């Protein structure tokens, strides 16, 4: 069966969905959004790829081990918490400050973003593990 | 002025009721899928009008999200109706 229309639409729409997910992730501190919904939206884009193509093709397109992603995300969250202990403050104490970056200039950064990144990776990993595991069984 | 937005909300709710009639009654599965898709888009419209009434812009992500989810759900159901599986294992069949 020819799936030309679905595949062409997917090629355009997937990037928009992933960009929307990134926007939700970075807007999470000041506007509605955050790691959870951004992870789900990114997983939605990957599910759209799975719908238009098949599991083997998507695995070559996005060569990511999703179970590994869960572990990396949990390490990010744990590392952010232990970072506070290193500086002699209670566990999960966050710090923020202004950093001069080469291109972007004066940027206000907060370590809660790293914790959110952990949440994001875990949500993407868990969702894709569930969907791929169900999709692979006969 | 606000009255106009409430009228728009009522009309959208009426449209959703009509689509619900199609979901319940629709003779084929395709009718029900199309009706559910249209209900999703009507919901996005209701969120838009409601965010005007409440004078807030924090619901605008929801509209985009409903659009994406409606498309994903409809595409998944259409593939299930056509092929019997939602996600294929490999592209050889």
Would you give per-residue pLDDT tens digits along chain A (138 residues)? Answer: 578 999 999 999 999 999 999 999 999 888 998 999 999 999 999 999 999 988 889 999 999 999 999 999 999 999 998 888 888 888 888 888 787 778 887 888 888 899 999 999 999 999 999 999 988 876
DSSP state of B28: S
Q: Which two tokens stand for residue A22?
A: 């990134």
B54 to chain A, any CB pair closer than 8 A? The answer is no
B88 vs A: CB within 8 A = yes
Q: What percent of chain B has pLDDT over 90?
A: 83
DSSP assignment, residue A95?
-
Q: Where are the domains of chain A?
A: 3-136
Residue B92 pLDDT: 59
Check residue A138 and give its pLDDT: 64
B93 lies within 8 A of chain A by CB: no
CA-CA distances (angstroms) from residue B72 to A1, A26, A60, A81, B49? 20, 24, 22, 36, 24
Q: Between chains, do A53 and B68 touch, taking CB under 8 Å as contact?
A: no
Q: Quick one: how far is CA B64 from the chain centroid?
A: 12
- Owner of token pair 């449209």: B15
Instruction: Check residues B44 and B86 and name the one with the higher pLDDT.
Output: B44
Could you report the predicted ipTM of this complex, rounded to two decimals? Answer: 0.87
Is the Cβ of B81 closer than 8 Å to some Cβ of chain A? Answer: no
Report the distance separating Cα A118 and Cα B73, nearest Å: 27
B86: three-class secondary structure by DSSP: coil
Burial class from Cβ neighbours inside 10 Å (0-12, 13-18, 19+) for residue A27 reads: middle
Cα within 13 Å of Cα(A117), Cβ side: 11
Query: In this predicted structure, what is the pLDDT of residue B15?
Result: 96
**Shortest alpha-carbon distance between residue B56 and chain A (Å):** 12
Write the DSSP symbol of residue A70.
Answer: H
Q: Which residues pair with A108 in a beta bridge?
A: A98
* Tokens at A15, concatenated: 């990037």
CB A51 within 8 A of CB B87: yes
- Residue B89, chain A, CB below 8 Å: the answer is yes
- CB-CB contact of A115 with A91 (8 Å): no
Q: H helices then E strands: how many in chain A?
A: 5, 2
Question: pTM for the full model?
Answer: 0.89
CB contact under 8 A, B69 and A44: yes
Backbone angles phi, psi at A54, to 5 degrees: -130, 175
Average pLDDT, chain A: 90
CA distance A88 to chain B (A): 38
């Amino acid at each position: 069966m020819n799936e030309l229309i679905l595949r062409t639409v997917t090629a355009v729409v997937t990037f928009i969905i992933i960009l929307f997910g990134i926007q939700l992730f970075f807007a999470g501190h000041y506007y509605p959004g955050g790691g959870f919904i951004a992870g789900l939206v990114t997983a939605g884009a990957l599910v759209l790829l799975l719908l238009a193509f098949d599991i083997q093709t998507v695995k070559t397109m996005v060569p990511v081990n999703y179970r590994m992603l869960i572990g990396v995300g949990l390490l990010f969250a744990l590392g952010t918490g232990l970072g506070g202990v290193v500086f002699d403050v209670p566990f999960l104490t966050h710090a923020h400050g202004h950093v001069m970056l080469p291109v972007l200039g004066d940027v206000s950064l907060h370590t809660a973003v790293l914790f959110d990144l952990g949440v994001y990776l875990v949500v993407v990993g868990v969702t894709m593990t569930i969907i791929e595991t169900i999709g692979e069984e006969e | 002025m606000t009255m106009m937005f409430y009228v728009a909300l009522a009309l959208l709710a009426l449209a959703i009721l009509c689509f619900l009639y199609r979901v319940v009654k629709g003779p084929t599965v395709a009718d029900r899928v199309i009706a559910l898709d249209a209900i999703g888009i009507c919901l996005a419209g209701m969120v838009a009008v409601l965010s005007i009434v409440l004078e807030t812009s924090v619901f605008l992500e929801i509209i985009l999200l409903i659009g994406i989810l409606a498309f994903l759900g409809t595409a998944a159901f259409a593939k299930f109706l056509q092929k019997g599986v939602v996600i294929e294992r490999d592209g050889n069949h």
